[in-house]
Structure 1
Amino acid sequence: MSKRIVVDPVTRIEGHLRIEVSVKDGKITDAYSSSPMVRGLENIVRGRDPRDVWAFVQRACGVCTTIHALASVRSVEDAIGVAVPPNAEMVRNIMQGALYMHDHTVHFYHLHALDWVDVVNAIKADPKATSELAQSISDWPKSSPGYFNDVKKKITRFVESGQLGIFANGYWGHPQMKLPPEVNLLAVAHYLEALEWQKEIVKVHTIFGGKNPHPNYLVGGMACAINTESPGGLNAERLAYVGRLLEEGKEFIEKVYIPDLMAIASFYKDWGAIGKGFGNYMAYGDLPVNGYNDPTSFKFPQGVILDRDLSKVYDVNHRNDDISEFVNNSWYDQYAEGKDSSRHPWEGETKINYTGPEPPYEELDVSTRYSFIKTPRWRGKPMEVGPLSRLLVGYARDNKEIKEIVDASLKQLDVPVDALFSTLGRTAARGIETQLVANWTMEFYDTLLRNIKNGDTRMANTDKWEPESWDAECKGVGFCEAPRGALGHWIKIKDGKTENYQLVVPSTWNASPRDPKGQMSAYESTLIGTPVADPELPLEIIRTIHSFDPCIACAVHLYDEHGKHLSRVSNLSSCDI
């Protein structure tokens, strides 16, 4: 007999996510992913000046804010036909690189590591043995027995007090926790170090964008003027500080994050066969080095892989009907063409005046609509997006840098390429690409300095800044690779104003409900077959869902336990669906 498990809310994510699964004979046989939160940003920007839209839509996320701004200005630049100067491209790449370095590291330690690391068990560790382990895998300076003994004392005080603070409500002692006490202590020590480090790397956004979160962007380039002598501009001192921050971030990733990732992964190789899903992977490609209109120059190649077949990569076209969205199982008004119809994002709608049954409190009615997330598809097929998809596409495209680091990582863990198609592979891919991005970001920084040294200080192209120079009607698409995966913003402009705007973001692809054919999304499909040791402590569900780094929120609807509407809270600094 099957048992229904409801995880609501899924914690350690941005926004609210509900997962319901059926478990039979210790394994998940069915799964449903639902967001009880609704997004309205697309409607907010209608009628506004397209040059201002980035400032609104970047509030889709309170974590990866800069990437939504980038997608937005790219969509407008595509619509009006403007190319940004090389310096602006490099600054955008540097800001994006800093975002990856921050976001992926924070996800590993503060959102995902505690699915694998038993904090309470760390008090059994021998600090001397932990020190020896740390020094065997890295030359990071904080690795003495005394250092780990001090961390152990802190954890012991938490445990003995019965108040675990930030470590409360974990699955401590769960049978799926396999790490030795020394590895647990090592990971907890670096969890605390990462809390300190992460507040430094985001200063890159403040220097180039004026603030963090929500740094400034500009259609046609960037708003940070280069003046190497002026205290008010992007001067030599500030540029040098950026370089120092990037070097320190690269060092933390190489000497702390990656060694910890490999050490932990080595104890969970069985998870290289769990969380496979349907096997379709998509990457839009990003980090241009020769202009946004030259995808062949992207550090992250673009493409689609079907059925885990790495011998064939399909191209991605954002302008035709390859990409479309269904709303058949979403709590939105249905399209006029019918329940089973889909629309390209340029023609998309986000009608929130839904008058059907309220979202249920106790259990989803999966025979009808069950999420506020739409259902995007590529040529009618569900896609997984994110770090794993990026690395697989790059690997299949025979990208030398990506192939070398992926092969080296697989060799270190002594697992085959097939192990990438899994929860473990998804988690490892995020760390592997963080290494790549840290190296690439230094390249972008060096290119920026070289351009300035050669006398090129251009940071913005204002040739088409005024709406009078635009076509009366035009449309564009801005696509990026957000830390969580393929991100697209589609805009239609009429008479100088935003006529329509649609976002299709990574968690829309991964967390969407079933389409009219009954095809599952990535979250749902990757849970099928997952073993669950204790239905009352469904750690295994959390592990796979967290491997995607879910990011889900916008305007929050509140209900009591009987489904009665209480109030609505508008929130413009939450996260993407």
Structure 2
Amino acid sequence: MSAERIVVDPITRIEGHLRIEAQTDDAGHITHAYSSGTMVRGIETILKGRDPRDAWAFTQRICGVCTLVHGIASVRSIEHALSYDIPHNAQLIRNLMIGAQYVVDHVMHFYHLHALDWVDVVSALKADPQATATLAQSLSNYPRSSAGYFSDVQKRIKNFVESGQLGIFANGYWGHPAYRLPPEANLMAVAHYLDALAWQREAAKLHAILGGKNPHPNFLVGGAPTPISAAQGGAGATALNDVGLEQIRNIIAQMQSFVDQVYIPDTLAIASFYKDWFERGEGVGNFLTCGDFPSGPGFDPATFAIPAGAILDRDLSTLHPVDFENPAEVQEFIAHSWYDYSVGKAQGLHPYQGETELNYTGPTPPYKHLDVDQAYSWMKSPRWRGKVMEVGPLARVLVLYAGGHEPTRELANMALGKLELPLEAMFSTMGRTAARTLESKLIADMMMGWYNELVANIRAGDLKVHNDALWDPSTWPRQAKGVGIMEAPRGALLHYSVIENGTLSNYQAVVPSTWNAGPMDAQGQFGPYEAALMHNHQLAIKDQPLEILRTIHSFDPCIACAVHMVDPDGNELVKVKVR
């Protein structure tokens, strides 16, 4: 294999448009990598001059996969700016909705976006259904594990292949030498892929019950738009009553069962065939969380179920405190981004002073390669204390582990023990995938606790879900600013709002895929995607870069959250009129 630059554009099975260019040496090892978001951001400009209480409805449409996360971050930003506490019930409702997003999102990512990097669908045609049933039954007590069931799934795959219409399984690198699962494990994984499609439809109903619809459920500055009825009601009742509460309990129980019986066993089974992927794809070795899942009516970081903190240089003995309002801690850089700052491209800006001035200086599409010495992405480069930070499930699991969270330690030690791996194996491509699975177990179990607490409040007569104290804008200060923090499934999410005379004068969103997928900064520090690809990667087949997909997908990219679209000439594509 001769040295060359490999281009993967677009990266598929993600949300949004991402281009990866990887420079290889003669042996196919990746020596340099570059991450480019190929859409342009614009939501900040749309929000200027609008009522702060409406911002969530705009920001939530940033992405349909993340669905509620930008809505939550937005209302929290306004509540922080106006010192606006919400009732305990509203906090519990939000926790349940965010928790459901985690579990649904992680299951969807594993089976529908990432599993096909490890699972050879066509190989499943060679499997023995009885042997597949024996394998599945040895891993868990999941009821859909009979030989007849796997035989039916195999026939469905065979029909796809023979018709030449693989549908959702089209365009895979089937037969690639990097696939290692035996046919029976492949058949089991494909069957669970299909099961997860049906499962997530049921799990998503929790958002519809508590937020009126899904995707993009409703939210409200100051609480939750979910009236609670103490009386029993029928299925057609609009308030949350005993019927709705029982549905929520059943949905949470279904989440727990699928995670315990399918998701965790499948992750461990697949990981056991790819242990070498616990030795590559680490990247920067720095990890950041902003924290989430508060208890009580206030937004006190001391009560977060997932704490805020930073880990530097893999050192789990020290958890550094974070302050996202401090300009010395959080800045966004644009040295290699298609934006301009009034202070120049080499200097970073804190999001309260953030600017969104577009300046495309790249080649005219279509082009062969990025000019990586200049700007090459529509994403900015966030930094914490000047350092590149990875965010996401791995960061959260490591912060919980470092903080002595016993359930996390027990779960991580169990998984690593079964795989006969040290804790350091988590700093890897497969470690990110495993962390996402472990986190799903932790969050699903937390959800039942929040549900029981909500029910207890209702039984005690507490039905309050909204704080009306500051709803009148005439009571607001002339100037206010706030940051809405939340841990989205993909990582630390920060919405910064500046309010002047009752309207938004500035709004900036620093999102997980900006932290992870951003380009180099002025100091030449590579972003997490780029650094991860430069750690121990060798391509077996240059025009089938499966290895690149594995590591990039391990971050669960959501580029729509980081950038938004314009045509190559910069012309307006759509105008939204709000009546």
| Same fold? TM cut 0.5 | yes
Q: Residue 273 and residue 59 in structure 1: after superposition, are their counterparts in 2 closer, same or farther (change >3 A)? A: same
Q: 1:557 aligned to 2:566?
A: yes
2:541 maps to a residue whose letter is: D
Partner of 2:295, secondary structure, is: coil
In structure 2, the residue matched to 1:542 is 549
Aligned counterpart in structure 2 of residue 394 of structure 1, from 395, 400, 408: 400
Alpha-carbon offset, residue 127 of structure 1: 0.4
Question: How many Å apart are 1:360 and its aligned residue?
Answer: 5.8
The match for 2:246 is 240
Deviation at 1:356, TM superposition (A): 6.6
CA distance 1:327–1:129, shift in 2 (3 Å): same
Please tell me whether the aligned partners of residues 118 and 179 of structure 2 are also in contact (alpha carbons under 8 angstroms): yes
Q: How much does 1:228 deviate?
A: 3.1
Answer yes or no: is the 8 Å Cα contact 1:359–1:370 preserved in 2. Answer: no
Cα pair distance change 1:369/1:88, threshold 3 Å: same
In the alignment, the residues of structure 1 paired with residue 439 and residue 567 of structure 2 have an alpha-carbon distance, to the nearest angstrom, of 38
Q: Which residue of 2 aligns with 1:562?
A: none
Q: 2:456 aligns with which of 436, 450, 456?
A: 450
For the residue of structure 2 that corresponds to 1:342, the secondary structure is coil
Distance in structure 1 (CA, Å) of the matches to 2:212 and 2:575: 22
* Residue aligned with 1:282, SS: strand
CA distance in 2, matches of 1:292, 1:6: 48
Match of 1:373 in 2: 379
Letter in 2 for 1:556: M
Aligned match of 2:230: 228
| Amino acid in structure 1 at the alignment position of 2:470 | K
Q: Which residue of 2 aligns with 1:272?
A: 278
Q: For the residues of structure 2 that align with 1:537 and 1:291, how far apart are their CA atoms?
A: 52
Root mean square deviation, CA, Å = 1.4
Match of 1:251 among 257, 263, 284: 257
Classify 1:497/1:571 alpha carbon distance in 2 versus 1 (closer, same or farther; 3 Å).
closer
**Which residue in the other structure is 1:330 paired with?**
337
Q: What amino acid sits opposite 1:8 in the alignment?
A: D
Cα deviation for residue 555 of structure 1 reads 3.5
- The whole-number CA distance in structure 1 between the counterparts of 2:471 and 2:358 is 33
Alignment of 1:388-537 (within 5 A): 388-528=394-534, 529-537=536-544
More displaced stretch, 351-360 vs 335-344:
351-360
CA contact (8 A) 1:555 1:569 kept: no
CA distance in 2, matches of 1:402, 1:296: 18
- Cα separation, 1, equivalents of 2:264 and 2:253: 16
Contact 2:338 2:359 in 1 (8 A): no
Matched, 1:345 2:351: yes
Contact 1:555–1:568 (8 Å) recurs in 2: no
Identity of aligned residues (%): 55
Q: Is 2:131 the counterpart of 1:129?
A: yes
Within the candidate set 30, 38, 41, 1:39 is matched to: 41
Instruction: Select which of 202, 215, 237 maps to 1:213.
Output: 215
Alpha-carbon offset, residue 352 of structure 1 = 2.5
In structure 1, the partner of 2:189 is 187
Quickly say closer, same or farther: Cα 1:103–1:355, change in 2 above 3 A: same
Separation in 2 of the partners of 1:428 and 1:452? 37
TM-superposition CA deviations, 1:147-189 (whole Å, max 9, x none): 1011111111222222211111001111110000000000000
TM-superposition CA deviations, 1:379-423 (whole Å, max 9, x none): 000100000000011111111121111111111211110110000
- What TM-score comes out, normalization by structure 1 length? 0.96
Distance 1:527 1:313 in 2: 26
Instruction: Give secondary structure in 1 for the equivalent of 2:68.
Output: helix
What is the aligned partner in structure 2 of residue 84 from structure 1?
A: 86
Helix, strand or coil: the match of 1:6? strand
1:409 and 1:226 mapped to 2: Cα distance? Answer: 40
SS of alignment partner, residue 13 of structure 1: coil
Residue 9 of structure 1: SS of its match in structure 2? coil
Deviation by residue 1:486-512 (Cα, 9 ceiling, x = unmatched): 000000001111110000000000000
* Residue 362 (structure 1) shift: 1.7
Contact 2:382 2:388 in 1 (8 A): yes
Secondary structure of the 1:532 match is coil
SS at match of 1:132: helix
Asked if the contact 2:230/2:463 (under 8 Å) is kept, the reply is no
- TM-fit CA distance, 1:558: 4.2
TM superposition shift of 1:232: 2.5
Q: Distance in 2 between matches of 1:458 and 1:42?
A: 33
Distance 1:337 1:396, change over 3 A: same
Q: Which residue of 2 aligns with 1:158?
A: 160
Give the aligned length. Answer: 566
Question: Which residue of structure 2 lines up, in the alignment, with residue 575 of structure 1?
Answer: none
What SS does the aligned partner of 2:357 have?
coil
Question: How many Å separate the matches in 1 of 2:575 and 2:381?
Answer: 23
Structure 2 CA distance, aligned partners of 1:108 and 1:139?
20
Amino acid at match of 1:62: G
Amino acid at match of 1:370: Y
Aligned-partner Cα distance in 2 for 1:299–1:360:
47
Determine if contact 2:397/2:435 at 8 Å carries over to the other structure: yes
The match for 2:367 is: 361
Aligned pair in 2 of structure 1 residues 360, 343: CA closer, same or farther (>3 Å)?
A: farther
Cα distance in 2, alignment partners of residues 96 and 248 from structure 1: 16
| Residue 26 of structure 1: how far off its partner (Å) | 2.1
1:4 match: 5
CA deviation after TM superposition for structure 1 residue 358, in Å: 4.4
SS in 1 for 2:250: helix
Question: Structure 2: how far apart are the matches of 1:468 and 1:278?
Answer: 47
Is 1:556–1:570's contact at 8 Å kept on the other side of the alignment? no
For residues 571 and 421 of structure 1, what CA distance do their matches in structure 2 show?
Answer: 44
Partners of 1:338 and 1:232 lie apart in 2 by 53
Partner residue in 2 for 1:289: 295
Asked if structure 2 preserves the Cα contact closer than 8 Å seen for 1:33 and 1:371, the reply is: yes
- Secondary structure of 1:556's counterpart equals coil
- In structure 2, the CA distance between the partners of 1:279 and 1:440, relative to structure 1 (3 Å rule), is same
Deviations 1:242-270 (A, max 9, x none): 11111111111111111111110110000
CA distance in 1, matches of 2:297, 2:239: 25
Q: Deviations over 1:278-328 (max 9, x none)?
A: 100001111112345321221111110111111111111011020000111
